[in-house]
Every structure is written in C-alpha cells, then in structure tokens.
Amino acid sequence: MKKGIPFEWDQACSNAFQSIKSYLMKPPVLAAPIPRKPLILYIAAQERSVGALLAQENGEKKENSLYYLSRMMTPNELKYSPIEKLCLALVFAIQKLKHYFQAHIIVYIPQKAVKGQALADFLADHPIPDDWKLTDELPDEDAMVIEVQPPWKMYFDGSAHREGAGAGVVFVTSQGKVLPYSFTLTQHCTNNVAEYQALILGLEMAIDMRQLKLHIFGDSELVINQLLGSYEVKKPELRRYYDYAQKLIGWLGNVTLQHVPRKENKKDDTLATLASTLTLPGQKQITICQKWIVPPDENEDEESKLERLVAVAEAVKVDWRQTMIDYLCYGILPEDPRRKTEIRRCAPRFLYYKDTLYRRSFEGVLLRCLGEDEATQAMQEAHSGVCGSHQSGPKLHFHIKRMGYYWPIMVKDCLDYARRCKACQFHANFIHQPPEMLHPTVASCHLMLGD
C-alpha cells in the first residue's frame, strides 16, 4: 500500500485473511496421548540446562507434542561430562513422566530413524557459526586408543670356573630397547647353579618391573627342560633353585620358555663371562652388581618364614597406580573383596596410554596420575617453588588439579603439607588468645575514709 495508489481487495487478499483467521483459531497446543500407541522421547543437554520433549504420532503420521520439560543444572551437575549430562536429562525425564511410561509402550528409536523434521528443527535452533571450520578429526582421538604391546623377551646365561662365577641377563622391551644386566656371584658354584642364578635374577627383575607377559630364552638345555618338565631334577642342590624358579614363574603367570643355541645367546654369554672374569686376581676393578640368590627352604619353620615375609613387606612400597594398571591392561584384581569393588567402580574414569595412567575429571579433562615421590615434588613446586605463593591446603589442591595432576589422597596431602610448611608457620597470623584462662580481679579502693 502506497500513498496515492488506490487499494483493491482481491481474491488473494481474501485467501490470506482466511488463512490467518484459521491459524489463530487453531493454535498449536499440547495433545492428549493416544492409548496403545508408542511414545517418542527427545532429550537434550546443553552447557547449563537439560530438556526433554515427549511426542506421539497421530493418525496422519504427524508428531504431536505431549509434554515439555526443562530445568537448570545445579552447581554439582555443571561438573558432569557431556555423556553424563545426557544421562541426567534422561533420568530427569523418566522421573517426571513416569506415569506416561507406565501406561504406554516404550519403543527405542535409533538416531538414524528419527524424523528428519525433528533433526532439522534441532539444527535450526542450534546454528553453527559462520567462522566455524568443519573437520573430520575427533578431538583427542589418539588418547582413546589403547595399544596392545607385545611381550618382553628375556635372555639369560651363567658362567662359572675356579676363580669365580657370573650371570648375565638381557631384556628386550616391546619397543625393541635392549636392557643388559651383568652380575658377579659372590659364592663359588657349578655352571648349572650359575644358570639358575641368572634365571632367578631375571625373573625377580621382571616381577619388580611388573612384566607379566614374558618370553624367556636360555642356552642351558638342562635348566630349560627341567622347568618344562622334560627332564627330572636329580641333584639335590638344584632342587631348591628349581622350586623357587617355578614359584616365580607362577607369580608372573604368562611365561614361555624356549631353548636357544649358544651362538644366538652371545650377548648374555659375554656378560656372564665378563662378570666371572672380574673376580680374577690382578684384574682392574669395574663396578658391576654383586648378587647371590638364596632360595627359600620349604622345610624351615613358620616363624622364620613369617619374619622373612614381614621384612620383605616393610621394604617394598606398593604404588597405588599399579593396581589400576593391572586391572585395565590384564584384568587382575586384588584378593580383598572391598578393593575389588572399589577398583571396578573407579576404573571407567581411568585411562592407560603410553605407559602413563590418566584420570578423566568431571569436565572431561585427562589428569596425569602421580606417585608418592612425584606428588611430593608437585606440592613443593606449587606451594613454595619459583611461582609458589604459599597457599593454604584447599587452594593448593585446586591449583595442582588445575595444572593437570591427580592422586587419590591429594586433598589430605595438600592440607598436611601446607600445615607443616615452616615459612607459613613463621609468617602466619598470630592468634590473639591468652595462654590460660583469665581470672577477674576486684580493684581496691584508693580513698581512705576518716572518722
């Protein structure tokens, strides 16, 4: 309509007016559910809110809205990961709409079968910014892959002669790195005993390194066949070594033994020969580990065994991360039922990647797990290091966690560390409180009354 131009009411204007009237007379309202028809539930989780829509198809194959739900998240729920927020939306909808779920059939509809109009409306309500670059790479996709490493290999050999004995052990890691070790045996022995000494030394080191999968190679046909059961152990001096080696192999679990010719075991043979010749008089002193394995005697009394076990238990410190790594990689659980339940409950939040254990925080960030020594160093640097400001215990814990580190008792450790800091004790605020209870006193009168 313009000024100076006459307005004419034609048929098109009449049709537009009628369509507006019909739309205003039939506004979109919530429909009542149709009995014996399945329901459709849409859930959505945003950064600070969750929502749900309950719908149902009518006779015209169109979806009618039955109920809307939405609410803001609590401060604790804001720390949930995206998948946990989506689960929160589902639980919220089930709790509020349980009477609908009890009276109707619930049918699961996969994402590919959802109506295109619903997806189009959802995408229209959440547009992608113009400067957003689309990519096919998923964030942190390399951190979600756990590589299965091949087992380590161990080569052992022992050498003995009149002037001394030695043992050599070589580990080949799953990455192909070679770790050679050479030992001088402090007692005279036969060549077979030296072979057993080398084998037991290697097995003990494998247990210390937590290598449960191991392929063992040795050039001693007698030792390998005795452990495989092909040869019988006839000499009494070898029986104790044989029993102790079998016990160590049983502790490791997945161990294979194979005999190799001496020409394929040259490195171990050289190490054992070198260690044994270093005991000859007149030779130049070279730093090599001195060792002698005394296998436990099965006939000793129970008190001696208990003393030995107590001494070993006091000397060995168990890293809390190793229990979780054993479960994630090999499915091994401790014998304590409570510890089993605790590890199974906490395991989904942990990830073992490239020989490092991580814990997934509530925000979805991977926190590196620290041992006892690393945790002490982290607290020292964060509290009183170059950039440390001698913060209190709770602030120190929050600062370390924000830096990307975690250990189970970090709150308690941070409180204890801040409480024991000498600088904080010297420069802290003084407590203005008397050392003992105050007693009231009555002031004497200074006026002398005359007669």
Structure tokens at 315: 């000397």
Confidence class for position 142, pLDDT limits 50, 70, 90:
very low
Best mean pLDDT range from 60-64, 269-273, 415-419, 444-448: 415-419
One domain for residues 272 and 198 = yes
What order do you get walking across the sheet with 366-369 strand by strand?
A: 350-353, 356-360, 366-369, 405-406
Average pLDDT over residues 152-156: 86
Average pLDDT over residues 17-37: 78
| Cα distances (Å, whole numbers) of residue 150 to 8, 69, 172, 448 | 87, 52, 11, 104
pLDDT tens-digit map of 44-60: 888 888 888 888 888 78
Task: Provide the pLDDT for residue 370.
Answer: 93
Q: Supply the angle between the helices 236-252 and 191-208 in degrees, to the nearest 10.
A: 20
Task: Provide the pLDDT for residue 284.
Answer: 37
CATH code of the domain covering residue 363: 1.10.340.70
pLDDT tens-digit map of 344-365: 999 999 999 888 999 998 888 8
Alpha-carbon distance 100 to 114, whole Å?
20
Task: Provide the pLDDT for residue 225.
Answer: 87
Least confident piece of the model among 9-13, 95-99, 115-119, 302-306 = 115-119
Task: Provide the pLDDT for residue 97.
Answer: 85
Least confident piece of the model among 70-79, 128-137, 218-227, 391-400 = 128-137
Confidence class for position 282, pLDDT limits 50, 70, 90:
very low
Q: Check whether 125 has a pLDDT greater than 80.
A: no
Least confident piece of the model among 66-75, 119-128, 351-360 = 119-128
One domain for residues 86 and 171 = no
More confident residue, 323 or 142: 323
- The helix/strand/coil state of 189 is coil
Task: Provide the pLDDT for residue 314.
Answer: 39
CB atoms within 10 A of CB 306: 10
Task: Provide the pLDDT for residue 308.
Answer: 46
Question: Does residue 15 sit within a domain?
Answer: no
Task: Provide the pLDDT for residue 279.
Answer: 43
User: How many Cα neighbours within 13 Å face the side chain of 346?
Assistant: 18
Question: Does residue 303 sit within a domain?
Answer: no
Question: Does residue 78 sit within a domain?
Answer: yes
CATH code of the domain covering residue 200: 3.30.420.10
Q: Name the burial class of residue 63, with classes exposed (0-12), middle (13-18) and buried (19+) by CB atoms within 10 angstroms of its CB.
A: middle
- pTM score, two decimals? 0.36
Q: Check whether 405 has a pLDDT greater than 90.
A: yes
Question: Does residue 438 sit within a domain?
Answer: no
pLDDT tens-digit map of 361-404: 888 889 999 999 899 999 988 988 877 788 888 889 988 988 89
Question: Does residue 433 sit within a domain?
Answer: no
Average pLDDT over residues 94-110: 76
Question: Does residue 296 sit within a domain?
Answer: no
Q: Check whether 113 has a pLDDT greater than 60.
A: no
Task: Provide the pLDDT for residue 312.
Answer: 38
| Residue 394, domain extent | 320-421
CATH code of the domain covering residue 88: 3.10.20.370
More confident residue, 310 or 253: 253
Domain count, the chain: 3
Mean pLDDT, the chain, whole residue set: 76
One domain for residues 233 and 326 = no
First to last CA, the chain: 117
Task: Provide the pLDDT for residue 285.
Answer: 37
One domain for residues 269 and 337 = no
More confident residue, 295 or 66: 66
One domain for residues 162 and 266 = yes
